[in-house]
Amino acid sequence: MSGFVSFVSSGPGDPELLTVKAVKRLEQADVVLFDDLSSGPILSLAREGADLIGVGKRAGRPSPKQDHVSRVLVEYAQADMHVVRLKSGDSGMFGRLEEELTALRAAGIPFEIIPGVTSASAAAATAGIPLTRRLTARRVQFITGADVSGDLPPDVNMAALADPLATTVVYMGKRTFAGLAAQLIAHGLPADTPAMLAEAVSTPAERLERFTIATLAAHLGELSTSTPALIFYGPLAGPYS
């Protein structure tokens, strides 16, 4: 069997943020299985004639189940094809990479993982801020705001999340942030802690807005959009000074 799978991290959406290796793999692929957030102009880099198959999962929308995606991935590789599994951001960051690796290992299919720019780094760059600062932001933590049910995970380490000397980035947290903010404040994080909402990072629809954790919770409580977004909070999330 000569099939091979390249897990290609597409970054947050801007094709210019792809790595050179990622572009090369797209140019070599027989088939590309892509996430919703990896579609659009990035797919134009795929080899002419390659099969392009959408397997993305979006909250609140009908989408393929993970076991189906893993099965299709294995089937194409077993047909001796070079498969690119195109994942948004960095494939190892809240991208359910491990399930697909497990399926490939069980089938004896070789693979490689090509890292990419995660949306947190891209959003910070657009906002003109670092993710760390000596003395006042010595730690960065990336968390998910939704478990498999779509709710705030019940077992998060709230003491760590309420650390005022950390930069915290919440992925997939728009719907649950009001509840998270209430718990953060109850655990001692000041309600006026700076916060930033970063939507559609690195795309033409990109939007960055500054809040406090309290005002952002109120804002998101009145908002109902499916635009992908990140939430930053901590000493560096406010207007830079």
Q: Domains in the chain, ordered, with CATH?
A: 4-114 (3.40.1010.10), 119-233 (3.30.950.10)
pLDDT per position as a tens digit, 154-169: 899 999 999 999 999 9
Predicted TM-score (pTM) of this structure: 0.90
Q: Which residues form the catalytic set?
A: 35, 57, 172
The amino acid occupying position 193 is: T
Name the band, by pLDDT with cuts 50, 70 and 90, for residue 186. Answer: very high
**Which DSSP category does 82 fall into?**
E
Contact call for residues 127 and 208 (beta carbons, < 8 A): yes
Residues ≥6 apart with Cβ < 8 Å to 125: none
Integer Cα distance of 64 and 85 in angstroms = 14
CA 204 to chain centroid, in Å, comes to: 18
pLDDT per position as a tens digit, 15-24: 999 999 999 9
**Average pLDDT of the chain, as a whole number:** 92
Contact call for residues 47 and 29 (beta carbons, < 8 A): yes
DSSP lists the bridge partners of residue 142 as 169
pLDDT at 62 over 60: no
Contact call for residues 195 and 233 (beta carbons, < 8 A): yes
